[in-house]
Amino acid sequence: MTEPRQQAGPLVLVIDDEPQIRRFLRTGFEMQGFRIAEAETARQALELAVMRRPDLVVLDLGLPDADGASVLEALRGWFPGPVIVLSVRSSEEEKVSLLEKGADDYVVKPFGMAELLARARVVLRRVAQPGAAEPVLRVGKLMLDFAQRMVSLDGVPVVLSPKQFALLRVLGIHHGKVLTHRQLMKELWPQDPDEDVQYLRILMKKLRDKIEPDPARPAYLVTELSVGYRLRTQEQLDAAGYAEAMR
């Protein structure tokens, strides 16, 4: 993978009351050149966040002294950096509410280190280039030129309707991140965000028909069931590695 950068790596604040989980997270992150700060309780976590200013927070929801969601809210009061939430396989509602309270992503326990690292890289990269500073986004054969309002597949321009482009654009701005249905509705129908989610689904179907190599098995625009949609990054696309099994 990357070269270990002993002191210069990004600082991850791991908030988890389970020592065994903290132990493998520490090893896993350090092997990839990250620096680590650890907290066992919500209080400790907030103190450390203020003192150390981490580049990334990994927050376990099952803390002994506070509800994970309230820690997230307290952090979001002043902390602009990315937060990844660790949750047990829980209700989709909880995931949605965490994302809307400002979590950047979630990983469901049990998870492999590779999965968490991939998510961490995506959110850190987004912080490095806020608001799609990159004028052009590339993933697989898809190219999205924000400035020119152009989309092409394998170099061939694709004609999208304004709404379809708006949907792809907002997912592109938050490249790699899950956006909930409600967040997308607010972007696309700002006057009427409580409009039927069906519209969004139909819009997504049409967009996929235009840009997906196989609309039946979307590669770029993936659905997080009952939560929302995500535009995969190149890394996520490679990690998915489903293509060889599919025809």
Partner 1 sequence: MILRIDPLAYLKAAGLVAVATVPAVILVVLTPLESVSAIYMLPGLVAAVWYGTGPAVAAALLGAVMTSLFYPPLFSVMVVRPSQIVDLVISLIVALTIGRLAGQLRAQMLRVREDERRVRQLYDLSSEIAGAADVAAIYNIVAAHMADAFEREVVLFAASEGQGWHAIRRSAAAVPATALIEAARQFAEGRGRPDSPDVSVADLPAGGRWLLCRLGRPGPLQAVLAVAMGSDSHDLSGEIVASARSILEEGARSLERLGLTRALEERQLRQRTDALRDILMESVSHELRTPLASILGSASVLSTAPAISSEPRLSDLSKAIASEAGRLDRRIQNLLDVTRIRAGALQPRFDEVDPADIVNGALDSTAERLAGRKVTLALARDLPFVRVDPVLVEQALINILENAAKFAPGDAPITISASERDGRLIIAVQDEGPGLDQHEAQQIFERFHRGERHADIAGGSGLGLAIAKTFVEANGGSIEPLSEGPGKGTTMRLWLPLAVLRAGEPDDD
Kindly list the residues in this chain that would bind partner 1 in the complex (CB under 8 A).
1, 18, 20-21, 23-25, 27-28, 31, 62, 88-89, 92, 109-114, 161-164, 189, 195-199, 201-206, 214-218, 222-223, 225-226, 240-242, 245-247
- At residue 227, the 3 state secondary structure works out as coil
Measured from the CB atom, the residue of 156 and 245 that comes closer to partner 1 is 245
Orientation angle between helical segments 181-188 and 197-211, nearest 10 degrees: 80
Q: Which two tokens stand for residue 221?
A: 């625009």
Rounded to 5 degrees, what angle do the CA atoms 9, 15, 20 make? Answer: 95
List Cα–Cα distances, 2 to 13, 102, 150, 176, in angstroms: 20, 29, 33, 20
Q: Which residue has the tokens 């819009």?
A: 203
CB of 62 to partner 1, least distance (A): 7
Shortest spacing between CB 89 and partner 1, in angstroms: 7
- Whole-number minimum distance, CB 40 to partner 1, in Å? 14
Nearer to partner 1, 136 or 246 (CB): 246
Dihedral pair phi/psi, residue 143, rounded to 5°:
-130, 130
**Choice between 92 and 134, CB closer to partner 1:** 92
Query: Closest approach of Cβ 226 to partner 1, in Å?
Result: 5
Nearer to partner 1, 21 or 153 (CB): 21
Q: Which is nearer to partner 1, 161 or 234 (CB)?
A: 161
Cross-strand partners of 109: 88
CB of 111 to partner 1, least distance (A): 7
Mapping DSSP to helix (H, G, I), strand (E, B) and coil, where does residue 214 land? coil
Question: Radius of gyration over alpha carbons of the chain, in Å?
Answer: 19
